Structure formats: structure tokens, C-alpha cells
Structure 1
Amino acid sequence: MRFLLLISFILIFGFCSCRRDVPQAENSAVQIPVPDHFPPLVYTFERNPPTTFGVELGRKLFFDPFLSRDGLVSCSTCHQRGVGFADPRGQALSEGVFGRVGNRNTPALANLIWYPHFNWDGGINHIEIQPVAPITDSAEMDMDFRELLDKLQKHPEYPDLFQKAFGSDSIYSQVFLFALTQFMSTLVSHNAPIDDYYRGQSSLTTEALAGKQIFDSKCATCHSGALQTDFSFRVNGLTAFNLADRGRAEITNDDKHIGAFRVPSLRNVEVTGPYLHDGSLSTLREVIEAYSSGILNHPNLDSALPVGGFNFSDLEKRQLRFFLYQLTDFSFINPN
């Protein structure tokens, strides 16, 4: 496979020293996995080739509550590796600074460099811009962006870290977002059992294969390809018509998009609950049951979905679960 994309960009930072026998740290290029069975990359690193110092700086920013208004909420508060970078607290709706609760469920993070748009409504269309939304949202991190950059500039550590990563200790929006993007780009989930199956390295169990056949017949219209999503916006009929959260229509102002939300990737879906844009379903069993017997007659219901549901048998529900378990990448959620 063309397994690793070597970003051919190396910056070497150091300082003169009389101890010439002591090697200086290098800001080396970072290899990002690009599996053969994945679709073409959307983000190609042309302006922002990942480096060791850039990725480490992005990781530090991602896990630092200093970026939030109350100093208690970081990106990692709602996105932790052990649950596929979903919310480890298992809350239906995101909880941010000062205990404020948002109106949507925290999405899992993986394979973001293949995403053409972000958030449940697709309101962000570029990975480099995506962090601005949670950082500035009053129910998440509630920071004014200029104020945040000023805070970072006055921080005792960050100017030096930006100097090492980008060659200047000046902290401005582009390099800040470049650093976070470099870290987020490393979140590639590509070693689940389904990947070994796609690569021809192993087979699935009889039950999982039966589940895959059901999935391919009933679910893959939307959850297609190696990432189990076509990145479209659809109404699944699992929640009632709700003008309080108009979904994609919030962006397009088109009534035909009311209730439509981005089709999520099902990577690591076994561990990323609760599910749906509003977190209203807690377990995979509940999700499968909802698609079996709980699809509502929404005015914008997607044409691939039958009102009422697919009427899966108990055996089919079990087989579907076994197939979905094959999407769990344990090397991603627990790399140690």
C-alpha cells in the first residue's frame, strides 16, 4: 500500500554553542498514514507540512484548558482517545465552560484529513478553520480569538514552542491553527479488523460477514466506503421534526434541509456513544432498534429510509452489531 505519506519538509532549529559534540534537536518531517483503501485526501498539507515540533505543539494546545474562558475546558475534555476522541463523560449534549450545555452531541474525531466539511451541520468546510468554532462558542470554550492569541503570546512557554515549530515566536491565527491541524492530522484510524479485511490480510467471522451483507444492503447508501460515510447531509427520521435545531438548514437556509445532519463516519462506533446529533440514543442496540422499528415520517425523510423502519429480525440485529464491532481500531483508541 502507499501506506505512509512522507511530507518532504524539514526545518532544523538550533542555536550556536561551543559544545559542538552535542546534537541539536531537529524539527523533522512527520509521516502521516495514508492507506490504499481510503479515498483521496482532502487536506494535502501543501501549506502546512507536519513536523515533530508542530505536532507536539498542536497536541499541547489540544490538551490545554488554558484555551478556555474558565481555564478548565480543553479540546480533550470532550474528545478523548479512549472513546475514539468522543466525549468520555457519555453525555448526550456537550458540556463546556461554567457547566454550560450545548445543543448537540460531541462528534468523534478520526481521519479528519479526509473530511470535506465539519460539525453536524457542515458549517465549517476546512480542517484548519474547524477549531475556531468550539473555541469561540459560548457553550464550549467561550474565548474571543484575539484575546486567546494575546494570552498565548504572554504565556511563559508558548512563544518558545512556536519559535521551534514555525521559526518565529509571534503567535498569530495562522500558525496557531496550523499547529492544531498538524496534531489533528495524526488522528488516523486505519487498523480495525475491517481494514485487515479490505487489505486482504484477514477474513471476518461468519456472523460479521452476514452483518456486512445486511449493512451493505440497508446502510451503505449513506455509510459508504472505507470511512463508512459519504459525507452527505440527510434526515434519518430517528428524531422528531424540530425547528429548535434546523440542522443543515441553519447553514443553507433551505427548508428542504431542516432536520438534515452530516452522515457520521462509523469508525470506532462501538465506543463513541451516545449517538445521533442530539445524543438521544445511548447504545448500538438502541440505534439498530431505532432503524428497525423507529423511523418517523419526517417531511424531509431521506428516500433510502422506509417509514417505520427496516424490520430487522433478532438475528439480523445481532449480525449487524457483530459487523459494527469490526470497525473498532484498538490500536487507535489504546495505542499503548
Structure 2
Amino acid sequence: MSSEARGDYLIGLMTGTSVDGIDAVLTRIGDGHFSLQATLNQPLPDPLQDAVLALCQPGDNEIDRAGAVSRQLSLCYAQACQTLLEQTGLKPQQIRAIGCHGQTVRHRPGENGFSLQLGCPDTLAVETGITVVSNFRNKDMALGGQGAPLVPPFHQQLFARPGQRRAIANIGGMANVTLLDGNTLLGGFDTGPGNVLMDLWIRQHRQQPFDRNGDWAAGGEPDPRLLAQLLDDPYFRLPPPKSTGRELFHADWLKPHLPGHSEPQQVQATLAELTARSISDALADFAPQQLLVCGGGAHNHHLLARLQHHLEIPVISTESEGLHPDWVEAAAFAWLAWARLEGQCGNAPVVTGASRETILGQVTLP
């Protein structure tokens, strides 16, 4: 896909499993053309972040709490869009659509599965005066798919290269991989936890939101017994298609495995090794020649070094291919919104397991 500045303006919005803020991008997209015009990361207010995280696990009064959070999130999304427009001098009527993924609080693949993202598209459309495309996952699930990951077709558009066998690892709160053999998309799936457990542990023990560069983990040695116990979770042995989230990998999943005398830095090193091993083990059969990394994990130097150690191939950032790792996922939802408006299918059955290709997303007019 060409990076020339041609096509329609679209905004992509993403708040991921880490719940650390809104990633907003302004893109231009047309047939065969994609370019990134402006970017913004807007932190979520602490009370809103806490409210979202509380909703990621079952609790009391969920419907009322979710309704209120949904509206609050959309006001924050609208503010991010308005800031992007102010940065670029564009008017709302110049933007074809906003692709808003929303904030996932439940993802339940399987028979009668569903995926729930908070964020009110009506509020966002009214506040911005721009058409909104949202609810990207459930059509795929209605067709028997996992509804995730949805980014592999976008990865294919941007990163596929003739004659190159590549994997793309998107390491956010959870980690997912895309498998590209030349221009062909062979598959993609969630490998398991990305940053979510590492972030949780360092927040608990050092009051830091994340392990910058992986320095804390790098200063410790993984506990082989603990690592083996964690890798023994049945999810890691499931064949694709598969997807997961905080519903499985959270504090209560980790706690039973921890001996009472656990040294915090050793646990952090083990959690980093868990992410590296689960990704590299998942890629073993595909045997890529190169791994491109995007998402927050692309900044974790220790994690990248461990991936390179296990895979024995070059592990590099998507920035080397022209798209900074922080913006790939938000850009993907701008592209999925464009595909929806163009009447193009957005899912990949080879990834999700859906019975057929389909157009994804629901359109909300301002």
C-alpha cells in the first residue's frame, strides 16, 4: 500500500487493554493509498480509568456503571478528535468518518459469543459532527468467528512484501500475531498476555504505570518453576483461531501461582519471559524470517531482546516500515471504517474462523 497523501480523511480511535489512554490518528486513505497525517495520545482521567478497569471483571450494578462510563468515554473521544482537527486546521465536514473501536470490557468468543466495547457512538457523532463507525467485532462472531484479532488484514495491506515470510506482533495489554507469507495472509491470533501482567505487577510493587524499557525485568532472573506453571495454562496449547483478554489473564489468574516468598523483581522478569516465550512458541511452526513489532511492547527493549533470543531472527519496530508502533492499531480502525464505507469486507476468516468474509462495523450519522 502506497504512503502517498491521497484519499479521504478518516480518524481512528483506540483504547486498548492497558486502558492507559486514547490513541487518535488522522489518516488519508484511498484504494492502494494510506498515509498518517497527525497523531495524539490523550490520557484518560484517573477516575475514568479506574471505572473502566473495574468493569473488566464482573461486579455489582454493572449496567448503570457501564452506561455512564460509555458516555464519559465518548466525550473524551470527541475531545481527542477536536484536538486533532485543531492541530491540522481541518473542519469536521472534511472528515469522512471516525473509526472508533471503543473500550473492550468483555470478550467472550465461542458458541453464542459476544464482544462488548464501551463508548457511545451517538454521543461521539453528535459531539463531533462526524459520521462514526463502531462495533467492529460482533458481525464476525455472529458468523462463528472469534471477532479478534481484526488488525491482520490491515497489517497485510501495509507490511506484506513479495518473497518475505514475516510475522507482525502487536504487543499491547494482550499480544496478537499476524502471519504473512509474501502477499498472502496465512493467519493471526492472540498469543496471550502482552504488557498486562507486567504493568499490573510493577504498578503494585513500584507504583509505576509500566516497566520503562523493561529495565526492572532486565535486572532480575526469571523463576523457571513459575514460568513453567504459567506456560502450562491451557490457552497456550489451544490451536488457532483463538482470542483472549483480561477475562482470563488478570491478577487472580496470576496469584495462585505465586509462592509466598516471591521476590518482586524475579516475578517481573518471569512475566516478561512469559510474554516473550508465549509469542515465540506461537511462531515456531510458522518460522518467520523477520518479526515486526508494534504496540507499547515495541518500547520494551528487554522484551525485544528476549524475543530475538528465542526466535533467532531480526526483531524490529514497524517504524522501519514507515508506521510508528504507537499508532498502528488506531490506524487499523480508521482503515476498517474506510472499508465499511466502501463496502469492502474487513474480516479475515483465515484469522478469526468466521464462516465467510463480511463487512464490519455499524454506521452512526451525526
In the superposition, the TM-score normalised over structure 1's length comes to: 0.27
Q: Which has the higher strand share?
A: 2
Q: Which has the higher contact order (CA 8 A, sep 6+)?
A: 2
TM-score computed with the length of structure 2 as normaliser: 0.25
Structure number with the higher helix fraction is: 2
> Which structure has the greater CA radius of gyration?
1
